[in-house]
Amino acid sequence: MKWGKATTFAVVFASLCWLASAGEIVVNYSSQETEPNDTRITAGWLLFGGDSSPSFWMDADVDYYRLMITTLPTTLTVSVVGVPGNDPAARIEDESGGTIAVPAVFIEQVFVTTGTYYVAVFHQDRPNFNPAATSYTLSGQFSQRDDEPPTYTATIGIQRVERGGDDSVSVEWSPAVDNFTPAENIIYNVYWKTSRQDLFTPPAGASYAGITSAVIPSGIDPEESYYFGVRARDLVGNEEENEVAIFVPVRLAVNPATWLLYR
């Protein structure tokens, strides 16, 4: 790289990040050459389905760009954070769009919890690391990507329904567990429909967090028969898809009646 001509744009770009899967960080980037010596590089880290991609003008003669990740913004300008500059997995060498994946083994931090992290990409020539004099960082909430819904360790879904002497209905279900959402934050969606086929069609009739029983005080016609079911959902929105249901007929008397899941 000819550093003599790179005197007017000492710039770094940064954006938001997420952990794509266990053990790697992924950055999506694109670039466009608009003048012979100017290339606009756009890099973005997708976060919760969004795309944050600030653009900066970079020199067309830059050989590649170096990924920097840290939990402290000040270290971005003074140290290299666990990514060897000559590692092809951690650099962008061309002027086309694409994706680079950085294995977590090259990152000092182990990204296992939600927190605020700072990401930057420095332009750099071979073979020495020559960061720009000025750096710009964008901090963002980082979270592991969670694609898996809660699961059950024993019995699954709804277990008991009691139709009271009034219009209320008591429902009990099995507890679920999740890799990321604490037990007290798991959401249990309670469904009831007059049709078994439509039972789990959204929206749920009621939702409860961290408990395994509830009284539904209203919204259920005592002169109708219903199917009841419960599905667990984590905080990200992943809902498991069990098909367990209990049929509860019309309330025929003022005395409570209970229906259990047959097993």
Both 129 and 205 in a single domain? no
| DSSP character at residue 89 | G
Both 228 and 194 in a single domain? yes
CATH number for position 163: 2.60.40.10
Specify the pLDDT at position 206: 94
Q: Among residues 175, 184, 182, 180, which one has the least CA distance to residue 232?
A: 175
Q: Which residue has the higher pLDDT, 219 or 8?
A: 219
Specify the pLDDT at position 251: 64
| Cβ atoms of 39 and 60 closer than 8 Å | yes
| Cβ atoms of 159 and 261 closer than 8 Å | yes
Q: What is the 3-state secondary structure (H, E, C) of 83-148?
A: CCCCCHHHEECCCCCEEEEEEHHHCCCCCCCCEEEEEEEEEECCCCCCCCCCCCCEEEEECECCCC
Both 216 and 233 in a single domain? yes
The rounded distance, in Å, linking the Cα atoms of 123 and 127 is: 12
Look up the domain containing 194 and give its range.
151-260
> Which tens digits make up the pLDDT trace of 114-171?
444 444 444 444 444 444 433 333 333 344 456 789 999 889 999 999 987 677 899 9
Specify the pLDDT at position 151: 96
Specify the pLDDT at position 261: 58
Residue type, 96: S
> Which tens digits make up the pLDDT trace of 93-123?
333 344 444 433 333 333 333 444 444 444 4
Question: Is 69 within a domain?
Answer: yes
Specify the pLDDT at position 257: 59
Q: Is the per-residue pLDDT at 242 higher than 80? A: yes
> Which tens digits make up the pLDDT trace of 202-221?
999 999 999 999 998 777 88
pTM, two decimals, is 0.50
* Residue finishing a domain among 103, 118, 142: 142
Both 192 and 130 in a single domain? no
The rounded distance, in Å, linking the Cα atoms of 154 and 149 is: 16
Percent pLDDT > 70 in the chain is 39
Specify the pLDDT at position 218: 76
Both 195 and 247 in a single domain? yes
Q: What's the chain's Rg over C-alpha atoms?
A: 27
Q: Which residue has the higher pLDDT, 256 or 226?
A: 226
Question: Is 1 within a domain?
Answer: no
Q: Is the per-residue pLDDT at 256 higher than 60? A: no
Please state the domain count of the chain: 2
* Residue finishing a domain among 142, 177, 205: 142
Both 113 and 22 in a single domain? yes
* Residue finishing a domain among 142, 176, 207: 142
Question: Is 32 within a domain?
Answer: yes
Average pLDDT estimate for 217-238: 88
Q: What is the mean pLDDT of the chain?
A: 59
